[in-house]
Amino acid sequence: MSADAEAGTVVERRDESGAEVEPLVAIRNLSKYYVRGDQVIPVLVDIDLDVAEGDFVALMGPSGSGKTTLLNLIAGIDKPSAGEIRIAGVDITQLSDADLALWRSANVGFIFQFYNLMPVLSAFGNVELPLQLTSLSRRERRDRVETALALVGLSDRATHLPNELSGGQQQRVAIARALITDPAIIVADEPTGDLDRTTAEEILGLLERLNRELEKTIIMVTHDPKAAEKAHRLVHLEKGVLVH
């Protein structure tokens, strides 16, 4: 076992026959830095991290530690300076922008701190949005959206615009949108950061349920220790380095 593995960031898993099981997310030697003039600013330094299928990982660390950058890289919305990110066997660092967009639409569900719903679309329209990129018929899309809205308890709010919903309801719409394509991973960036404690508990309960009942792999960035308690595993970052 490597030092990283001992720290719990790289984990060897084997199936019943003893064969090694590839983790859903396998990150190796990942670095990200920005160049400003002649200055190189490191954001992530030589990160190794595995996330198994069905895991619920919380990324924690102080502001500027690189946790959101790491999440963005895993989600395929940012490009690393070096290293490899394999997700379900695909090295996403090698994909072109167009291929990466296609990959994201099929494999990643996003939950943002400020929900990022389209203000002109109803809850239904927002949840349906990722399905517009698929070849599903209108009826199939409608069935899926209704199921997702029911799952997050918002069937009666389908026709409401985001500004007609509370923060918690908007985040539940965002969760339904993240689920709708049945993605391999769900990435959540401070999903309770804009919510009061009670609503945050509801949202965390919903994420926990998705992980437990639907076996969704969730990677969540949070500052909130209470939110982190819901995760199976905590990964701490400090100044771009995994500390334990």
Partner 1 sequence: MFVPLLVLRNAFRHKLRTTLTVVGIVVAIVAFGMLRTIVDAWYAGANASSSARLVTRSSVSLVFPLPLSYAPKIRQVDGVTGVAWANWFGGIYVNERNFFAQFAISPSYLAMYPEFVLSDDERRAFVADRSGAIAGRKLAEKYGWKVGDQIPLRGTIFPGTWTFNLRGIYDGAEEGTDTSTFFFHYAFLNESIKQKLGGRGDQAGLYIEQLAHPDEAAAVSAAIDAMFRNSLAETLTETEKAFQLGFVAMSEAILLAIQAVSFVVIVIIMAVMANTMAMTARERYAEYATFKALGFSNGFVALLIFAESLGIALFGGLLGVALTFPAAETFAKTVGSILPAFKVSTDTIVLQVAAALVIGVVAAAIPAWRAARVRIVEGLRAIG
Q: Half-sphere exposure of residue 121, counting CA atoms within 13 Å on the CB side?
A: 15
Q: Does 114 bind partner 1 (CB under 8 A)?
A: yes
Report how far residue 19's alpha carbon sits from residue 13's, in angstroms, rounded to the nearest whole number. Answer: 8
Q: Does 155 bind partner 1 (CB under 8 A)?
A: no
- Stretch 172-211: interaction string toward partner 1, x if CB under 8 A: -----x----------------------------------
Q: Does 35 bind partner 1 (CB under 8 A)?
A: no
Residue spans of alpha helices (H) in 121-229: 123-128, 138-151, 167-179, 197-213, 225-229
Q: How far is the CB of 134 from partner 1 (least distance, A)?
A: 10
- Binding segment toward partner 1, per CB under 8 A, in 34-42, 74-82, 195-203, 234-242: 74-82
Nearer to partner 1, 61 or 183 (CB): 183
Nearer to partner 1, 10 or 188 (CB): 188
Report how far residue 52's alpha carbon sits from residue 143's, in angstroms, rounded to the nearest whole number. Answer: 30
Nearer to partner 1, 5 or 114 (CB): 114
Q: How far is the CB of 109 from partner 1 (least distance, A)?
A: 9
Q: How far is the CB of 85 from partner 1 (least distance, A)?
A: 15
Q: Does 19 bind partner 1 (CB under 8 A)?
A: no
> In one letter, which amino acid is 233?
R
Report how far residue 120's alpha carbon sits from residue 173's, in angstroms, rounded to the nearest whole number. Answer: 14
Among candidates 9, 45, 44, 194, which has minimal Cα distance to 116? 194
Which position among 5, 21, 82, 133 is part of the footprint of partner 1 (CB under 8 A)? 133
For partner 1 (CB under 8 A), the number of binding residues is 25
Q: Residue 234 class from Cβ within 10 Å (0-12 exposed, 13-18 middle, 19+ buried)?
A: middle
Question: What is the helix (H) or strand (E) element at residue 13, kind and residue range?
Answer: strand 13-14
Among candidates 175, 230, 235, which has minimal Cα distance to 204? 230
Q: Does 75 bind partner 1 (CB under 8 A)?
A: yes
Binding residues vs partner 1 (CB under 8 A): 69, 72, 75, 77-78, 97-98, 101-102, 104-106, 110, 112, 114, 116, 118-121, 129-130, 132-133, 177
